[in-house]
Each structure stands twice: as structure tokens, then as C-alpha cells.
Structure 1
Amino acid sequence: MKTVPPGLQALLDSGVTTLCTCWRIERLDGEVFGFTNHDRMLRFAGTGYQPETGFTPAETAASLGLAVDTAEIEGALSADVITDADIALGLWDNAHAEIWRVDWTDTANRVILRKGSLGEISRGTQSFFAEIRGLAHQLAQPGGRTFQRNCDAVVGDARCGVNLDQPAFKGTGAVSAVTDDRLISVSGLGGFAAGWFAQGLLTWTAGSNAGARSEVAGHRLGASGSVTIELWRRAERPIRIGDTFTVTAGCGKTWEICRAKFSNGANHRSFPHIPGNDAAYQTAKTGGVNDGGSFFND
């Protein structure tokens, strides 16, 4: 149940209101933005809410139980606040969102309407359309550990414990040639073995994709010493010769790779000795070993 401040309740009871809506968006990179449909700047709780930013509320759905509530907002693409490039690079994906109802004559009279995160964002020529998902959507996400042969930690996270900032696991380079914004020839990585950065993470530090991250599909060495990096997905913006990046070593999630590549067997988060799928189909037989293998190859 929401608690309405006495001042706001008195305003609502009066029949004459001076209310507006404020949106606070905090991206995963820590950047905070405030927007309001009022015609002047508002500020509260350390955040400034910019007026006339083109933010307008659209459809809102609310329900009892654990169904996911949603709200939708529509806005104009602004060169200095919300750009088409930032949306394309995924900088707004899953950003934390708060929606407030505020008395613009006294911002202490306010109440939060809902919290959630930005879901799907669609773009048009001059505008964007974003979905705000309620907190219940997190209940639909996988949680807890999985009983499996491969590690369920993310390389470099707290559960893994590997420090990816070590020189052995992190490289810097620049683009020397580009093929369809997915296959790039690079300089600066000649001291690493082939495949070292496969399944790793590449972060652009300069160029039109600066700040964006791309997962690495392949890392190959040519006969002449050239280095080729293949990305799983094409970059959202064109890659140019001279664009710079950092890239971290990838992990294949197996016990062997964890122990040999990272010397991190003590933190390996899997169950490498669980039986294979064939063991689930074991059938009793008069002779031999019941190991789940084929009857026809005995």
C-alpha cells in the first residue's frame, strides 16, 4: 500500500491539483536521467527533472497477483539526452526506472507510482517507444544454481574470482581492417595465443561504438602474424580503421579450461563428474556392465 504524504493528500482532497509526472531512469553504467511532463525544471532527491523532453505516458497495465505489470512511455529522440546511437548500442537496456506523481509547486508532496526496468525499446525516425516492466518480471528470470557439467559463473565475477585486469587476461588493440562490422583484423594482440580471447568480451574505447560491448566468437592468428577477431553480432555502428578496444580472455566453462588457462580450479562452479545422458537410460541385463552404453556394441 502506498503512503501519500499529508500535503499531497490535502491537495488531492481540495479538487484543484498542480500535479505532474516525473520519470527517473538510471542506466546500468550509472548515468542518471530525470524527465518530467511539466513545463519547468524540477529537482528532488538529488535528481534534476528536465522539462519538455518529449516524454509522454502511454498505456499502463496493472493487475493483482504475480502477473507482470507494464507501463509504456513515448518520447522524442534528443541529440543531447536520448540519442538513436545510445539506444542502438544498448546503453538504455534494462535501466532502472521510477515513475513519480509530484506536486510541482512543492516537490516534497510526491508519491512513487511504480518501479521497474526498461524492457523492449523500439525506434522510429524521430521518436522512441519504451516499455517499463514491473518488478515481478524478475520472477520469470532463471535464478539459483544449475546442476550441470559446465561452470555457471561468469568469468571474472565474484563467484569466479579471476582478475581479468591482469595483463595475461586483458589486451588492448586497434582495428586495422574491417569485414561487414563483424570480422576485424587488429593490431596489439600479437602476444596472445590463438583462441585466447574466444568467448571473451570486447569493449570499444574509441570510435562510433565507444562504450559498447561485443561478445567474441573467434580469435585467430594468420600465417603472417596477423590477428583476426570475429564478433558474435555485427556492431551497431560502423567500425572504422583506427577504432580502439580492450578485450578480455574468454572461458569455455569446462573444468579443464578453468584449471589450465586460469589456474582457478578451486573456484570452478560446476559438477564435472556427473553421469552423462546415457546413464539415465540404463537397463538391467544378464551380463556385462550396466553403464548405460549401447546393447549392440557389447
Structure 2
Amino acid sequence: MKQASPALVAFLAEARGTRDCAIAFAECFTFTQATGAVFSYTNADVPVIYRGKVFLANGPLVSGLKYRASTGLNVDRQEIVIAARPEDLAGWTPLLAALREGFFDGCVIQRDRVFFSDFVGGTLVDGVTLFHGRLSTVDEVGRTRARITVANELVLLDVNMPRNIFAPTCIHTLYDQGCKIPSGAFSTNDVVGSGSTRALINFAGAQAAHAQGTLLFSSGANSGRRCAVKSVVPGVSVSLIYPLPTAPAAGDALVAFWGCDHTMATCQARFSNLPNFRGFPFVPPPQMAM
């Protein structure tokens, strides 16, 4: 059952009692990347403002995402088509190229139907969420459109992962509630040096501890984007696991966070956080016999 506000319920009930009543509504689609970047589009002819977001009417066209309601734990998988032009960007990268290069991996996709009391883009009544799920696979990317498969949140139940894992390395995510390390205490503010590329960032503050950490850009073309560090040349540069959409310019501000290999030795030597270490390095391997 979909939840709707009392105002929307009353509006639809009144419309049902009126013969040949035309209801103005717009389909709104929100794409939230794993980095936190949000892109919102509508199939209406005018932009729609809903819940603090502006859904663009001159952006990509999304079709094929249907409303489905059922009981049980079956995963709702649907195929949708996104038609886009070269000037339709996801950040600084054309949308179709971003899909192809994996920038939308793990993306959360939501479809809302927004109702208006007079005309589309006029007086907003409210909306209702018809689909909330994740990008499953990118099936095809062409010159003008992409075909992708999305699945609702039940797809997470397909992950073959127990609640607790007894392994030598810590199962906490660095800086999360279980780890309890304040990220601000292990971060470095710096600026991008000259000669940086999409995959190699030069800055004098690079430290060995930044390996397996992250960079967060706070200015420039990549502002707000967080990326993972693969390796470090101390005092010179860091290499990224995945390249940025566009190369940063010299002087762009960034914050570099220390990384962790989740071993007991690193937890103690680098962070002095052994009381919160949740690894089990002394559990005998499966092949040992007593």
C-alpha cells in the first residue's frame, strides 16, 4: 500500500466524485549516485518543484518504469529506457557516457507521481512514491539512449552475506558508528597541484596513511565528489581507484582522509582504536583440526 498525505487523498476522492474530471500530474524521477550527487528529471513540459528538488523538463527522458504492487519477497525487476542528448550531463560528463563508465553503479532510483490542482506546474497538491530501488545492470548504451535494469530494495536480500562475519579483518566501515573514529581527526586539507589528471592527483600533503582512504573535493569542477585512493607517493601524489569525470584544476580545494586496511596492527598503530576493533584474527582457519 502506498502512503499518501491527507491532502492528496482528499483531492483524489473529490476527483473521483466528479464525472470526466481531468487530473493534472507529472512523473518525476530522481537518480542519487553513491557519491551523493542527485539528478532529477520530469516527463512534464515544465520544470516541477517537489520536496525541495527541481525536476528538469529539458533533460533526459525516462520511460518504462511501472508501478507494481505485490506481496511476498519477490524482487521487482524492470527494464527502463533513458533517452539523452550529448548536452545532458551528469556532473561534467554526458549522461550516457557516465552510465557506460560506471558512475551510476549503486545508484538509487525513485519515481514519484506529483499532482496539481489546476495544471502541471501550477498549484501543487502533493505526490506519492511509486517506485524506489536501485540500478541493477546497464544492459545497453547507444548514441541516443541507454537501456538499464532496475530492482527494488528487496534485491539487497539476494546478497549472500550473513549478519556477522568472523574474519581476521575488522568488519566495520572506517569512521562509521561501530568504528567510532572521528573522520575530522584524521583528515588533511590541501589543494590540487599542477599536472594532476583524472586518475592522479598531485598535492604536497599526500601521506602513506591516505592509501585506501578517500579524497573529498570542496571546490572546482569536482566539488562535492568523493573518490577512493588506490596508492600514494608520500609528499607527491595519490592515485585513484576510479578516474574522476574531469581533471581537477590546480588550486582546487580537497580534503584527504586516512585509510585503513582493517587489520589489528593498523587499528592499533595508526588509530589507537583497538577497543572498537571487530576482527577475529585468532580464529583458527577451517582446515585446522584439534
TM-score by length of 1: 0.71
Is 1:158–2:166 an aligned residue pair? no
| Whole-Å separation in 2 of the counterparts to 1:181 and 1:42 | 34
Is 1:69–2:76 an aligned residue pair? yes
Is 1:17–2:30 an aligned residue pair? no
Q: Which runs of 5+ in 2 are unaligned?
A: none
Q: Which has the higher contact order (CA 8 A, sep 6+)?
A: 2
**Within-5 A mapping of 1:236-255:** 236-255=245-264
Name whichever of 89-98 and 264-273 sits farther off: 89-98
| Whole-Å separation in 2 of the counterparts to 1:104 and 1:80 | 31
Letter of the aligned partner of 2:260 in structure 1? C
Is residue 34–residue 50 contact of structure 1 (8 Å, CA) maintained in 2?
yes
Letter of the aligned partner of 1:20 in structure 2? F
Is residue 24–residue 32 contact of structure 1 (8 Å, CA) maintained in 2?
no
Letter of the aligned partner of 2:203 in structure 1? V
Q: Which of residues 143, 155, 169 is equivalent to 1:137? A: 155
Say what the alpha-carbon RMSD is for the aligned residues: 3.8
Is 1:94–2:113 an aligned residue pair? no
After TM superposition, give the deviation of residue 135 of structure 1 in Å: 2.4
Is 1:8–2:12 an aligned residue pair? yes
- Name the structure 1 match of 2:166: 147
Q: Which runs of 5+ in 1 are unaligned?
A: 283-289, 291-298
Is 1:116–2:118 an aligned residue pair? no
After TM superposition, give the deviation of residue 104 of structure 1 in Å: 5.6
After TM superposition, give the deviation of residue 150 of structure 1 in Å: 0.4
- Name the structure 2 match of 1:175: 193
Q: Secondary structure at the match of 1:108?
A: strand
After TM superposition, give the deviation of residue 48 of structure 1 in Å: 4.8
| Whole-Å separation in 2 of the counterparts to 1:253 and 1:75 | 42
Letter of the aligned partner of 2:26 in structure 1? T
> Displaced runs of 4+ in structure 1, greater than 4 A?
28-34, 41-50, 61-64, 77-84, 118-132, 239-244
How high is the sequence identity, in percent, across the aligned residues? Answer: 21
| Whole-Å separation in 2 of the counterparts to 1:245 and 1:57 | 38
Q: Secondary structure at the match of 2:157?
A: helix
CA 61–140 in structure 1, closer or farther in 2 if over 3 Å, else same = farther
Higher gyration radius (CA)? 1
Is residue 101–residue 113 contact of structure 1 (8 Å, CA) maintained in 2?
no
Is residue 77–residue 128 contact of structure 1 (8 Å, CA) maintained in 2?
no
After TM superposition, give the deviation of residue 198 of structure 1 in Å: 1.1
Is residue 53–residue 75 contact of structure 1 (8 Å, CA) maintained in 2?
no
Is residue 58–residue 74 contact of structure 1 (8 Å, CA) maintained in 2?
no
| Whole-Å separation in 1 of the counterparts to 2:201 and 2:37 | 30
Letter of the aligned partner of 2:64 in structure 1? A
Letter of the aligned partner of 2:230 in structure 1? A
Question: For residues 38-70 of structure 1, what are the alpha-carbon distances to aligned partners after superposition, in whole Å with 9 as ceiling and x for unaligned?
Answer: 334545555554445443422548474322224
Q: Which of residues 212, 215, 218 is equivalent to 1:199? A: 212
CA 110–61 in structure 1, closer or farther in 2 if over 3 Å, else same = closer
| Whole-Å separation in 1 of the counterparts to 2:242 and 2:202 | 16
| Whole-Å separation in 2 of the counterparts to 1:95 and 1:144 | 23
Letter of the aligned partner of 2:22 in structure 1? T
- Name the structure 2 match of 1:295: none
Letter of the aligned partner of 1:145 in structure 2? N
| Whole-Å separation in 2 of the counterparts to 1:208 and 1:3 | 39
- Name the structure 2 match of 1:216: 229
Is 1:261–2:260 an aligned residue pair? no
Q: Secondary structure at the match of 2:30?
A: strand
Letter of the aligned partner of 2:74 in structure 1? A
* Number of residue pairs matched by the alignment: 271
Name whichever of 202-211 and 143-152 sits farther off: 202-211
Letter of the aligned partner of 2:192 in structure 1? A
CA 136–188 in structure 1, closer or farther in 2 if over 3 Å, else same = same
Q: Secondary structure at the match of 2:229?
A: strand
| Whole-Å separation in 2 of the counterparts to 1:161 and 1:233 | 27
